[in-house]
Each structure stands twice: as C-alpha cells, then as structure tokens.
A and B are shown apart, each in its own frame.
Chain A
C-alpha cells in the first residue's frame, strides 16, 4: 500500500501545482503578485506542500486556489491503465433484492441519459421449475472483449489493468461494438442533453466518462477514476446489501467496503461462475449462485416483467 500512498500524495501536489500554473498562465500574471483585480492578503497560515522535485515547500494558504477540475490523467495514461493491477468484480446473487441503488448511483455519477442504464438488474430463471433470482449486470470487462475486436478506430480498448474503456473523443458512433457485445451492456448517446453547467463544463476523460458525448457509445467503466484514488466503484459502495465485491486479482482480494474476501477462495467455495462462458469472452465479472438467499424473490411492483428464462 506504500507505493499507492506516494502516488496519491504526488498526485495531489501535482494537481495543486498544475492548478496554480494554469491560473498563472491563463491570466498571464504571476499569481503570487497581487494585482488590482485580485488582492490576495497573506493569511499568515502556512501550508506544507511537496514539490515535484520532492522538496517540501511552504506556501501561504491565501495563495492556494481551488483546483479547477482537470482531467485526472492524460489520455495516454488512461489508455494504459494502472500498472500491476488486474481488476475483478464478484456479484453475489444471494444478496440481491433488486433495490437498484447501484443503478441509481451509477446513473447519477456518470450523468447517464434518462431511460438508459449501465447497470441492469434482470429477473432471471434458469428453467420452469427453478427459482427466480435477480441478476445485476455491469460491463463484463472481458479479457477477450468482442467489442474491442471490432472497433475500427481503437476508441474502445482493453487496458493492462483489465478494464475495457471507451474514448468518447475518438468514437465515430458506428455502433459495431454494440452489435458485437453478447451482454448488451453498451448504450448509445442518441441525443444532446441540456446538462447542468457544472456537469457540462467538466473536462472529459475516458476514466470518468463524464460528460456523456452525443453520438458516441457509453458503458460501465469500473470507475477507474475512483479506483485510481483508492476508492471503490460507485455501485459497490452504493449497495446496502454488499452484493458487489470489487478487487484486484493480483492481490487476490475483493471487498464491498464492509467485508473483504480472498478472491480465489470465495469463488472456489461458493462455486462462482461467469456469464456465457461458452462464448470464450473471459469476463472479469464473476457471479456467486443465488443459494441461501438473504431475501425472497419478490416483484417490487405490479406490472414488473416476469422472470426471464435464461438463454
């Protein structure tokens, strides 16, 4: 965890410095030189910062400006992914009661277009006489991703940390990836929405996937921006029942924030499986079968579609 801490500290310091530099560049004035329009009175309160050279420097708090939200990482870095990691998700079907908190938080954090969802919760039933259950689906972040194979412009790509991302600045909107994905996980931004100014002005990064860009494809991204900060993806932390477990195969651990498991043991003990194994897509999302369930399968409201027989 040590290396992680350093990168994080570096990142914050660099961000602050970058913020200062940007502020300086844009006004073409020395930010430490008070001018007529912007009088900065030193508060006397000093803040210690780590410079890019590794030296600890002291700056008066008054000179610090809020960092404009810059893309967390460059496009090149976002395409490479986080070195040494191999992310994995485990979805425990025995805990899901279709609360859809995962969906709501995902939709909110990614500013997904109304009506669309990156996370879907399917009512499933293997056969006529077997028990129905709820199956949340995210992007499977396949190790042999059919969507990446067909993309003509490298707009969707597989990173070294296992995450499959979309670069909406490059996507040409041909939608071949949507046809290729057997899990129907991808959505298309059919129209331009009037976004709140704060959202619309956010700098786009393929790690945040915000704001959604019209005419391009979107999908679950495993929240690499959160993961880079050492946080869990939004769906994982939003689920009150701990259905989603997220982690790193190399560390062999997955967690929902409250409980942490050894990934290999969990999948072995509870007979984990992946969806449509026969297609050879090698998903990064594992499912634990809906046995010893925490909740009975209940339709939340009238008119909810009947459980589908699995294909």
Chain B
C-alpha cells in the first residue's frame, strides 16, 4: 500500500477535538450527571425513603437500570468475541465501539447496584462475610471478571494505535501525549509483540463468551431463584441473554451512526455495516420475541391463580400500556423497519436502534416492578402508598444520571482514543490489496 494512502487512513481515524455540538453534548451529560449526584447525596443523607420504593416494591428503577446496563454490556462479547472467532472481518471497525460500550455499561451497573443498597458503606461485608450460596455473590464474581476481561479486550488491541498516537505528537496536546506514552510507549510493533498480543486477544475472546453468558444469566437468576409469579421461570437465563444481545446490538447501531456523523467516518463505517448490523438486529429481535412468547404464552395458557393477576396486569391492566409499548418498540417495529433493504440504510437503522434501546429499558422496568406488586399474600395492613410504585424525582435523576455517565465515558474515550482501530484497519486494507493483487496477477 502506498504511504500516502496509509497516511490518509491514519489521519482520518485520529481522535478529533469536540466541535460545538460535541461541547453541548458533553455539557448536557455533565449537567445530568451532576443532577444525579445531587439526588444521590440527598438519598445518602435521608436514606432510601427519598425513593418511591416501599416494602412491597422493594426493588425499583435502580434494579431495572442495573439489568439494563448488564444487558447492554453483553454486546462487547458479541461483536468482539463471537464475530472475531467466527472470522467475520466486516465487524472490525465496530469492535472498539462495542467494547467501550461494554466497559462503561458494566462500570455503571456496579455503581447503580451500590446506589440501590441501604447501607452502601458496608459494601466490604460482601468480601468479609460473603456467602457463596447467594446469587448476589455469583454476580459480584462474574461482573468483576467481565469488567477486567473487557478492559483487557479494549486495551490490548489499542496498543498499536497508541504507538501511532505517540508518533503524532504535534497533533495532540501535551497532556494527552503523556497519557499515550504512559499507556503505550512499550509497543514496538515487532513480530514478537504482535504474536503475543494476537494470542492474548484470542484467549480473551474465548474467555469472555462464557463470562458474558454468566453475567446475564446470573442477573436473571437474581429473579428466577425466587418463588414469585413472573420470575419463577426456567426460561429466564436464555430470555435475558437474548434480550441483552438485542439491546446491545441496538446500542452499537446508535453509536455507529453518531460517531460516523460526528467524526465523518463514512468511508470506514459504511452503509454495508448498517446493512449487516441491521440483519443481525432482526435476527436478535426475532430471537427475543420467541423467548417472550415462551415467557408469557405458556403461563397465560394455564392462568394459575398466582400468575393470573400478574399476567392480566401486563396484558390488559395497570401495566398494559408500558408492556405493549415495550414489545412493539423493542421488537416489532425494529423488525418491520430492518427487514427491508431500505430500512437498513444508516438513518432508518439508527431510528430502529434507538427504538430498541428505549423499548428495552422499559422492558427491564416491567421485569422488576409488576411482579413485586403481586405477592402471594395480599397487601394488607400497610399504608396506601405501599401498594403502588411511582419513582420519585431523585430516582429518575439518579437513573438518568447513570445513563448520562455511561454515555459520557464513551464520549470522552472517543475524544482521547481512535474509536475505529487504526492499525487493524491498515492491516486489513493491506491484506485486501494484497489479496486483490494476487488475483489480478496470476503467477
């Protein structure tokens, strides 16, 4: 490949300073995070009484948000590991986007679970007195593991790019140059290093798949290991995982579209990427729909007394608007958009992605709250407020603040590091050219 072409690709993919929209975006996110922090300080000083949760609905939108974060973080393993191991090359430009979504989401999953604790200052008890038989401890173990494996899967492929960034000293600020040097100055790009790194990536890719399945399966078990109608289901692990891949893939499409627009990456994140991710999303939405049919149709056929109130509440009762909204926006409409070739163009695919993400958030809400409002024994001898759940402004502020925080991490990451792997793109372009040359000039 010509030097100038290489130069062109590298310069295209270098991280860019925020423009005006970028600054506004960061400002809004920071403001939302601050508001969340203020609300959390209020909660710390007054106790969980500032939330809308009470004895019956003892888990609310914090836990929904936790499940949502864990779900969306699974996409890191899908794009980086599953597609990499199956030798799919078109997804290379998307790996880093997927991996940073995974890292930021799993970070905020851990934070939001601490927010939900009545006694966050006793967090150390989990290590001091942890009991292996509790699914919460399983969750602590697998989420920690997933966090570190994801960090490594983000960092190791980043090293060659860091070496490139160091070379562009004149184009980066002094502070950033120090960051790059600290993180990547040992990368010499020699064959020994490349071989170790690719081996490491392979091992991590294999490792992360069971760990990813574990984090969301265990998260589903937080519910499925109880007796309650709506949670007492053997379908839950698979139901959660399929939903997780769906929302994660939706999130990647949204991020792809935004980065493509903001950084003018049309040459690297092409229409064909949207086309392919669109097809992946349709497959995942159908899969999730299938598990939903299992989850609701089978108990609804029997209408056991304990399940009846819960199911009717979802289908036609109090929660019906949210339920049907979630089903249609997270699955049915995206499928209808993306099943057509025209629907897989960037803009409609982006809209479908947003619908998937929003619908999936409300789906998580429905997994947590309605079940808690239908206990086995009737809700008696409690104040009227205990029989409903309306999240307070503090809860919304904290939940939205955590979502903003996750997006802020992604935004800042893309400001500092190339969001599309430079070295891997160069290598693949070279390979492709080499391949074409050998075809063009038969020996």
Say yes or no: B135 contacts A150, CB within 8 Å. Answer: yes
Rounded to whole angstroms, the CA-CA distance of A116 and B116 in the bound complex is 21
Comparing A14-22, A186-194, A230-238, the segment that makes contact with chain B is: A186-194
Say yes or no: A215 contacts B55, CB within 8 Å. Answer: no
Rounded to whole angstroms, the CA-CA distance of A190 and B47 in the bound complex is 6
Closest to A121 in B: B381
Tell me the A81-127 residues at the B interface (CB within 8 Å): 103, 115-117, 120-124
Rounded to whole angstroms, the CA-CA distance of A215 and B118 in the bound complex is 4
Given contacts A117-B382, A179-B226, contact A152 B126 (CB under 8 A): yes
A282 at the interface (CB under 8 A from B): no
Say yes or no: B380 contacts A171, CB within 8 Å. Answer: no
B222 at the interface (CB under 8 A from A): yes
A78 at the interface (CB under 8 A from B): no
> CB < 8 Å: which of B129, B225, B378 contacts A308?
B378
Given contacts A152-B137, A188-B48, A191-B46, contact A122 B378 (CB under 8 A): yes
Say yes or no: B129 contacts A154, CB within 8 Å. Answer: yes
Total number of B residues with any Cβ neighbor in A under 8 Å: 49
Tell me the B125-142 residues at the A interface (CB within 8 Å): 125-126, 128-131, 133-137, 140
Closest to B384 in A: A115
Number of A-B contacts (CB under 8 A): 151
Tell me the A172-200 residues at the B interface (CB within 8 Å): 172-176, 178-180, 182-184, 186-192
> CB < 8 Å: which of A116, A121, A172 contacts B118?
A172
B54 at the interface (CB under 8 A from A): yes
Rounded to whole angstroms, the CA-CA distance of A152 and B382 in the bound complex is 28
Say yes or no: A152 contacts B118, CB within 8 Å. Answer: no
Say yes or no: A188 contacts B123, CB within 8 Å. Answer: no
> CB < 8 Å: which of B55, B56, B125 contacts A170?
B125
Say yes or no: A173 contacts B381, CB within 8 Å. Answer: no
Say yes or no: A122 contacts B130, CB within 8 Å. Answer: no
> CB < 8 Å: which of B47, B59, B117 contacts A214?
B47
Given contacts A153-B129, A179-B228, contact A173 B134 (CB under 8 A): no
The minimal Cβ–Cβ distance linking A188 to chain B, given in whole angstroms, is 6
Rounded to whole angstroms, the CA-CA distance of A103 and B382 in the bound complex is 12
Say yes or no: A115 contacts B118, CB within 8 Å. Answer: no
B377 neighbours in A (Cβ, 8 Å):
120, 122, 137, 183-184, 275, 311
Among A115, A117, A275, residue most surrounded by chain B Cβ atoms (within 10 Å): A115
A276 at the interface (CB under 8 A from B): yes
> CB < 8 Å: which of A123, A180, A191, A217 contacts B47?
A191
A149 at the interface (CB under 8 A from B): yes
A216 at the interface (CB under 8 A from B): yes
B144 at the interface (CB under 8 A from A): no
Say yes or no: B382 contacts A115, CB within 8 Å. Answer: yes
The minimal Cβ–Cβ distance linking B328 to chain A, given in whole angstroms, is 29
Say yes or no: A311 contacts B305, CB within 8 Å. Answer: yes
Closest to A217 in B: B118
Tell me the B222-267 residues at the A interface (CB within 8 Å): 222-223, 225-228
B223 neighbours in A (Cβ, 8 Å):
179
Q: Chain A, 140-178, contact with B by CB distance < 8 Å: what is the 0/1 string?
A: 000000100111111100000000000000111111101
B137 neighbours in A (Cβ, 8 Å):
152
Closest to A307 in B: B378
Rounded to whole angstroms, the CA-CA distance of A176 and B225 in the bound complex is 10
7 cross-chain pairs, A with B, having the tightest CB-CB distances, nearest first: A173-B118, A215-B118, A191-B49, A308-B378, A152-B136, A152-B134, A190-B49
CB<8 Å pairs between A and B, sample of 16: A117-B381, A121-B380, A122-B380, A123-B380, A149-B133, A150-B135, A151-B131, A152-B130, A155-B125, A170-B129, A172-B126, A173-B117, A182-B375, A215-B118, A276-B376, A305-B380
Seen from chain B, the residues whose Cβ lies within 8 Å of a Cβ on chain A are 46-49, 51, 53-56, 58-59, 116-120, 122-123, 125-126, 128-131, 133-137, 140, 222-223, 225-228, 305-306, 372, 375-383, 386
Seen from chain A, the residues whose Cβ lies within 8 Å of a Cβ on chain B are 103, 115-117, 120-124, 137, 146, 149-155, 170-176, 178-180, 182-184, 186-192, 214-217, 275-276, 279, 305, 308-309, 311
